[in-house]
Amino acid sequence: MKRLEGRVALVTGGVGGVGAAVVKDFLAEGTAVIISDIRADKVDEAVAGLKAEGHAVAAAAASITDYDAFKSAVEAATGELGPVDIVVANAFVGGTSPTLDKTTPESFRQDVADNLAGTFNTVRAVIDGMKAARRGAIVVIGSVNGLTTLGQPAYSAAKAGLESLTRTMATEYGEHNIRANIICPGTVQTPAWDARIAQKPDVLDGLTKWYPLGRVATPGDIAKAVTFLASDDAGFISGVTLPVDGGLMAGNLQMARELTLEDR
């Protein structure tokens, strides 16, 4: 039995690393998918390829920061596939300033406002349909950067803000049988790392030592958690922050060993 049979999902950032993996898993679980992203050419390419394979997909090419354009693109796609039951707010905008000193007032405002408002816009565009249907699952993609200090302060502040926004959604929309949860990935090997890999080819290898499971995530690792939270298997889970981080947030082994004088 497919877990998401008969549903319609909206995935933003749907042609990025994590987004494309979510689309793939959702289609395998029987959902029709609206693929949304700011990169219209990539959206068209993905939709054409998946349709040719017989999948129920539709395009909604728009920026999450432009509410009116985003809403009308999504509405056109729901005309093809039906109203949205599942929304994955996965797109993220900007967020590359590594430290506070390198963050400008303008980049801070933009990163925080665009990411928070973009996720608000994403859900706002489809929430009335979910309320009318009296069912819905919202999955927001946050980051471990929202849970502890790992650089990129404006991006991290936005991700921390998304936790609060998700809790409010869970609280306000619960009476409409709509759940909202946030997944906080650790490092995921996606195109988001391309620029840093170009600067330092072994950057991801250097990060694996921080992960108790000894590796960074694949996009598929995150997609599996998204699919679970979107499905009825998670039917009584709402308002939850779920790190999907190979144990990164569980603790600091090096410090624990120093504290206990247990060296290895």
Ligand X SMILES: NC(=O)c1ccc[n+]([C@@H]2O[C@H](COP(=O)([O-])OP(=O)(O)OC[C@H]3O[C@@H](n4cnc5c(N)ncnc54)[C@H](O)[C@@H]3O)[C@@H](O)[C@H]2O)c1
Q: Which residues contact 132 (CB under 8 A, 6 or more apart)?
A: 83
Instruction: Report how far residue 264's alpha carbon sits from residue 79's, in angstroms, rounded to the nearest whole number.
Output: 61
User: Does residue 16 bind ligand X (CB under 6 A)?
Assistant: yes
User: Does residue 23 bind ligand X (CB under 6 A)?
Assistant: no
Per CB under 6 A, the list member of 74, 93, 127, 248 interacting with ligand X is 93
- Region of 1-9, 32-40, 47-55, 130-138 interacting with ligand X (CB under 6 A): 32-40
User: Does residue 92 bind ligand X (CB under 6 A)?
Assistant: yes
Give the active site residue among 131, 159, 211, 224: 159
* x-or-dash string of contact with ligand X, 165-194, rule CB under 6 A: --------------------x-xx-xxx--
Do residues 118 and 161 make contact, with C-beta atoms less than 8 angstroms apart? no
Q: Which residues contact 232 (CB under 8 A, 6 or more apart)?
A: 3
Per CB under 6 A, the list member of 11, 12, 130, 154 interacting with ligand X is 12
Instruction: Report how far residue 76's alpha carbon sits from residue 126's, in angstroms, rounded to the nearest whole number.
Output: 12
Q: Is 209 a catalytic residue?
A: no
Distances (CA, A) of 41 to 56, 60, 89, 167: 19, 11, 20, 34
**Residue 176: CA count within 13 A, CB half-sphere:** 20
Task: Please give the size of the binding site for ligand X, defined by CB under 6 A.
Answer: 26
Closer to ligand X by CB, 92 or 173: give it. 92
* x-or-dash string of contact with ligand X, 50-89, rule CB under 6 A: -------------xxx------------------------
Q: Is 155 a catalytic residue?
A: yes
- Region of 10-18, 169-177, 231-239, 256-264 interacting with ligand X (CB under 6 A): 10-18
Which of 46, 93, 45, 44 is CA-nearest to residue 192? 93
As beta bridge partners, residue 60 has 36
Look up tokens 């569980």; give the residue: 250
- List, by residue number, the catalytic residues: 155, 159
Site for ligand X, rule CB under 6 A: 12-13, 15-19, 37-39, 63-65, 90-93, 118, 141, 143, 185, 187-188, 190-192
